[in-house]
Every structure is written in C-alpha cells, then in structure tokens.
C-alpha cells in the first residue's frame, strides 16, 4: 500500500468514528472502495443494511438512484453520495413525464418498477422490485391484470419468460451490460472449456442463452461460493470480479468483456469519500411530498423480499 493510500485510509477511519458513519458499497464499485466499505452488496441488501445501522451518517458507494433509495427509507439519517456525477444511465432512461404518457396509454396496468430509479419515478408506481425478486413479484400479481415493467427491457423479457406473463416493457437497458455480446461468451468458452458461465439477469437474451446460470449480483456471489467449477466466466459489470476473487481466492474469474464497465460507478473513490465526510456533502435529500408517494412502493418491495 502506498503511503498516500495509507494516509487516506487512516483519515477515513478517523472521520467515520468522528461522524458515526458507515460506508455501504455496491458490488460494482472500485476495489479500493469495496475494501474499505463496512458492507458490500446489491441494491436491496444495501437498503436493508442502511435501515438496520445505528450510524448517523451513511456514505453510499454507488450511483444516485441507490443513494436516493437509502435516503427515502432512512429520513432520520444523513445520506451522502461522494460524487453527484455518479448517475445511472438506466435510471436516466425513464422520466416522470414519459412515464405519465405511458400510464395514460395503459390506465389499468399495474406498474412494477426497478428499485434503481429516481424517487420521482418511484412515486408514480405500484411496487418496486430488486433484481433478486423480480420474478416472484410478477408471479404474485393477479393473472388477469396488465403489468407495466420498468425500466429494463432485457430484465423484463427474462422475467416474462420465467413467470409466463405478458409484460408491457419499457425500452431501457443497463449500458455496461449490453456491451457484453454472444461472441464474447463463445470466445471465452473456447479459451476456457471447463469454465462455467454466469450471466447477469440484465444482459441481452443472446448472452443469457449461452450461460449456465442467469442471476443478479447477489446470486453471482452465491454461485461463485458454492460451485465446484474452478474457472468462471462472468458476464456482468467488471467491478464484481474484485469481490468474487477476494471471497474465492482458489477460483479463477474471467470477465466476459472488459468493455462492460460503468464509468459513473467508478467516480466514487477513496479521495471522494474522505472529502465528502470532511464536508458532509453532497447530501441526498428527498422532498417530503415525493417521500410520501414513493415510500409505499419501496415498502412493498421490502416486504416481498423479506
């Protein structure tokens, strides 16, 4: 460890104690952020940890929509996102204005929405879902009800197939994940014939069709821990490779594509976290009226996934 990194970490440890703060990091964060985080997980797991912690300050190693969800369910805590430029392209593909037009087109549809969306969008839907429980949420809805599924079309296509339901899909996608192509999987399988392939649920259908396992990030962590395979090709954002290697040092993890990198997810650095704790900003605040309308949809997700 370089002296500069050591000094930063020492300063960070001191600030966390001084501010009574915790750091909750998403699975795609930089390795240095995952290593200093108090917890690393998916969006649902981070939200639950935030609700459970006794800390006064929660620093989110992730993107804006994740920090908004935590601020939504933890109104009594200070929620900080170290870099407000850490946005989510998928979340940005749906706006309240466009959603209102879609609601007018399908006035009787139940609206099911990914947790990684803005608070304003959450305020307009019936229930949120996490990637790990998307199928069960759809299966739990009345069979005779129209369902609008927001905002990832490739996740929606997979869920529709698994649940045996017709869904009204929004034309959104996770930008890093659609960069993984079928030829990437074919290439790595040829290079590593004994390897198992695990694909993220938001990959395009042609990639998922070539995988041994299709799941979310928490499922990938579980699969990596439990599989007997010594080599695993990972079709996901490259940041998760750090955690998989760290938790399974006796196995080899091969990224399906180095292009599957979320640039905004990597904006949260050690330096940014230290600065944010020193200055207690940027703080994520949800307007009261939006909180009142958005909280029920998130609450249903938390109850569904419990």
What tens digit of pLDDT does each residue of 185-202 get? 999 999 999 999 999 999
- If asked whether residues 255 and 122 sit together in one domain, one would say no
Q: With 60 as the cut, is the pLDDT of residue 252 above it?
A: yes
The residue whose two tokens read 């230290």 is: 274
Q: What is the 3-state secondary structure (H, E, C) of the chain?
A: CCHHHHHHHHHHHHHHHHHCEEEEEECCCCHHHHHHCCEEECHHHHHHHHHHCCCCEEEEECCHHHHHHHHHHCCCCEEECCCCCCCCHHHHCCCHHHHHHHHHHCCCCEEEEECCCCHHHHCCCCEEECCCCHHHHHHCCCCCCCEEEECEHHHHHHHHHHHCCCCEECCECCCCHHHCCHHHHHHHHHHCCCCEEEEECCCCHHHHCCCCEEECHHHHHHHHHHCCCCEEEEECCCCHHHHHHHHCCCCEEEECCCCCCCCHHHHCCHHHHHHHHHHCCCECCCCHHHHHHHHHHHHHHHHHCC
- If asked whether residues 111 and 59 sit together in one domain, one would say no
On the CB side of 209, how many CA atoms lie within 13 Å of its CA? 9
- Residue-number span of the structural domain to which 32 is assigned: 3-87+265-285
Provide the pLDDT for residue 146. Answer: 97
- If asked whether residues 38 and 55 sit together in one domain, one would say yes
Number of domains in the chain: 3
| pLDDT tens track for 134-166 | 999 999 999 999 999 999 999 999 999 999 999
Provide the pLDDT for residue 132. Answer: 87
- If asked whether residues 190 and 255 sit together in one domain, one would say yes
Instruction: Look at residues 306, 300, 302 and name the one whose alpha carbon lies nearest to residue 126.
Output: 300
- If asked whether residues 271 and 196 sit together in one domain, one would say no
Structure tokens at 50: 């935030």
Question: pLDDT band at 304, cuts 50/70/90?
Answer: confident
| pLDDT tens track for 260-288 | 999 999 999 999 999 999 999 999 999 99
Mean per-residue pLDDT, 54-76: 97
CATH number of the domain bearing residue 99: 3.40.50.10800
| pLDDT tens track for 76-126 | 999 999 999 999 999 999 999 999 999 999 999 999 999 999 999 999 999
Q: With 70 as the cut, is the pLDDT of residue 2 above it?
A: no
Distance of CA 40 to the CA centre of its chain: 11
- If asked whether residues 142 and 205 sit together in one domain, one would say no
Q: What pTM value is reported for the model?
A: 0.94
On the CB side of 202, how many CA atoms lie within 13 Å of its CA? 24
- If asked whether residues 149 and 203 sit together in one domain, one would say no
How far is residue 80's CA from residue 64's CA, in Å, rounded to a whole number?
A: 10
- If asked whether residues 157 and 295 sit together in one domain, one would say yes
Say if CB 237 and CB 260 are below 8 A apart. yes
60-92 burial: b if 16+ Cβ within 10 Å, else e: bbbbbbbbbbbbbbbeebbbbbbbeebebebbb
């Amino acid at each position: 460890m370089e002296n500069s990194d050591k000094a930063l970490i020492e300063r960070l440890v001191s600030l966390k104690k001084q501010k009574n703060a915790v750091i909750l990091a998403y699975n795609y964060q930089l390795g240095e952020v995952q290593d200093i985080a108090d917890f690393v997980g998916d969006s649902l797991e981070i939200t639950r940890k935030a609700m459970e912690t006794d800390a006064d300050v929660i620093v989110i190693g992730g993107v804006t929509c994740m920090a908004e969800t935590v601020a939504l369910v933890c109104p009594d805590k200070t929620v900080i996102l170290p870099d407000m430029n850490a946005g989510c392209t998928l979340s940005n593909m749906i706006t309240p204005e466009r959603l209102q037009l879609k609601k007018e087109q399908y006035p009787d549809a139940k609206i099911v929405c990914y947790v990684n969306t803005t608070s304003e969008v959450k305020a307009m839907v019936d229930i949120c879902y996490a990637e790990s429980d998307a199928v069960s949420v759809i299966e739990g809805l009345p069979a005779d009800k129209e369902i609008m599924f927001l905002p990832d079309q490739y996740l929606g296509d997979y869920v529709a197939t698994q649940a045996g339901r017709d869904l009204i899909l929004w034309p959104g996608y996770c930008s890093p994940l659609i960069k993984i192509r079928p030829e990437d999987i074919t290439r790595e399988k040829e290079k590593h014939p004994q390897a198992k392939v695990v694909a993220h649920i938001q990959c395009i259908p042609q990639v998922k069709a070539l995988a041994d396992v299709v799941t979310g990030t928490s499922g990938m962590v579980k699969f990596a821990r439990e599989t007997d395979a010594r080599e695993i090709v990972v079709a996901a954002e490259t940041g998760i490779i750090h955690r998989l290697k760290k938790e399974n040092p006796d196995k080899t993890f091969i990224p399906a594509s180095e292009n599957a990198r979320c640039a905004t997810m990597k904006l949260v650095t050690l330096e940014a976290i230290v600065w944010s704790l020193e200055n207690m900003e940027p703080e994520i605040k949800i307007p009261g009226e939006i909180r009142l309308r958005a909280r029920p949809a998130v609450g249903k997700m938390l109850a569904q996934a419990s």
